[in-house]
Amino acid sequence: MAMYEALDLLDIAGICKYDDPTYILRDCDCCADTPVWFGIKPEPIYGKSQPIYPRKPGRRDTPYQQETYLEHLLPLEEYECVRVLFSGGKDSLCAYLHLRELGVPKEKIILHHHDIDGGNTERIMDWKCTRAYVEAFAKAEGVKLEVSWREKGFFGELYRLGASEPVSWQDPDTGEVMRCKLTPNYIKSQQIRESDMPEAEKIAALKELGYRFKWPAKGSIASGRYCSAYLKSMVLSSVISSMDSFPEKTLVVSGERAGESHMRSNLDEMQLHARSNSRRTIHAWKCVFNFSERDVWEVIKRNHINPHPVYRASFSRCSCSACIFLSPELWATFREIYPEEFEMLKEDEKRMNFTIDARCDLENFVGDAKPRNIHCDARALHSLRTGEFNVDEVYVKDWKYPAGAFRGSEGGSPC
Ligand code: SF4
């Protein structure tokens, strides 16, 4: 207990704080010396008829919470498929590894990746190597990878006139690209575009169906942070609804953790997924919800996985490369990695007459902030700049904490 005393992890009665299900170790208070608490290798439970209960019961305060309340998960072996929402960041990586350590066989797992850029080759929002990292990891592990996207990606949604673009996904078995059912408003938008209406009337009619031309708000989804909804959660929901052969019992696993932010700490660990219905049971589980950042790295370390290059280039989060929530220091770091993209973002602000930060333009927001050191790992920087990441880079023998470890979650995204 001496170490825990020194680290102030005992309460007045001498009980370890981690034993209190409401205790959350925030990322900003976590360091390499924090004891590993939940990241200790678990006993496999797959096949042992063990339902899984949340550490802290879910809430039923609102109608939505009552509708999605889930007392416990089924025993893991009862799910026909486990879909892991896999961004390539450390938390979703840890979630996958944790499932494997619990004994879930690879054949039951599908890594589901949202491609935020949706194949838009002109403008990209994500790190250039994220798709390559995710593909290399799935290949090295021998697990299926399913990729979904909103066509034209982030910048298509940013410069949207008319309805949102359709959602597509790639079948992990055949590689075939499938398109979700088109929305009535998208069909109408296409009819207007192809009509012989005068240009001004076309624009007015399209505006009736939707008009964006502004950055997502730096706040909650309800306050206008549309990016995570339109490019991630709604995309997955459309894919689930469109799949004819969706399994009867599916577990959707994500890597959100309570220690990341106050907002996340208020989420429930498990829920009935919004697309669950009488024909198919879909449960959602944040399987590393109580893990500290130290726990997460511990799991990645003992599995010898090379984390996404962005951590090795000093970033603490693997959000979109140009995430609207970046701090001035991280924008300065982004500018050093992608100077041309930085200039294009400044142009976007001028074109739309709408700045990413509500108070000032990007140049002034960055001000004289100094970039983090991106030169500590030459290969990581090369990957970020070129988009290269190979299968033979997935596992590393001499695992070291990346430069971005234990730097808190400042400037990261909440999505
Ligand atoms: S990472 Fe940032 S920019 Fe990207 S979807 Fe999330 S909040 Fe939006």
**Could you tell me the CATH number of the domain that includes residue 299?**
3.40.50.620
Question: 298 lies in a domain?
Answer: yes
Give residue-wise pLDDT tens across range 124-166.
999 999 999 999 999 999 999 999 999 999 999 999 999 999 9
Q: What is the dihedral of CA 12, 16, 18, 19, to 10 degrees?
A: -100
Is residue 115 domain-resident? yes
Residue predicted with more confidence, 278 or 306: 306
Q: Which residue has the higher pLDDT, 119 or 167?
A: 167
Alpha-carbon gap, residue 60 to 125, rounded angstroms: 37
Contact 110/82 with Cβ under 8 angstroms? yes
Does 401 fall in a domain?
Answer: no
Going along 301-386, which residue ranges are E strands? none
Domain count of the fold of the chain: 1
Q: Residue 231: CB within 6 Å of ligand 1?
A: yes
Cβ atoms of 54 and 268 closer than 8 Å: yes
The identity of residue 11, as a single letter, is: D
Mutate which of 157, 325, 362 for ligand 1 pocket (most atoms within 8 A of beta carbon): 325
| Domain extent at residue 220 | 2-52+63-160+212-308
Q: Is 319 in the pocket of ligand 1 (CB under 6 A)?
A: yes
Residue 414 in contact with residue 320, Cβ under 8 Å? no
Report yes or no on 286 lying in a domain. Answer: yes
Residue carrying structure tokens 């309570």: 258
**Token reading at 221:** 């989804």
Residue 127 domain-assigned (yes or no): yes
Total-model pTM: 0.95
Tens digits of residue pLDDT in 326-341: 999 999 999 999 999 9
Q: Tell me which residue has its CA closest to atom 4 in ligand 1.
A: 320
- Cα dihedral 348, 349, 352, 357 sign: positive
Whether the predicted pLDDT of 268 surpasses 60: yes
Q: Which atom of ligand 1 is nearest to the CA of 325?
A: 2
Is residue 321 in contact with ligand 1, taking CB distance under 6 Å?
A: no
Residue 77 lies in a domain: yes
CA of 365 to the centre of ligand 1 (A): 18
Which atom number of ligand 1 is nearest to the Cα of residue 228? 5
Is residue 359 assigned to a domain?
no
Which of 123, 78, 140, 124 lies closest to 104, judged by CA?
Answer: 78
Q: For residue 333, tell me if it sits in a domain.
A: no
**CB of 228 closer than 6 A to ligand 1?**
yes
Nearest-CA residue for ligand 1 atom 3 is: 323
Picking from 131, 161, 69, the residue whose alpha carbon sits closest to that of residue 309 is 131
pLDDT tens by residue, 239-250: 999 988 889 999
pLDDT of residue 330: 96
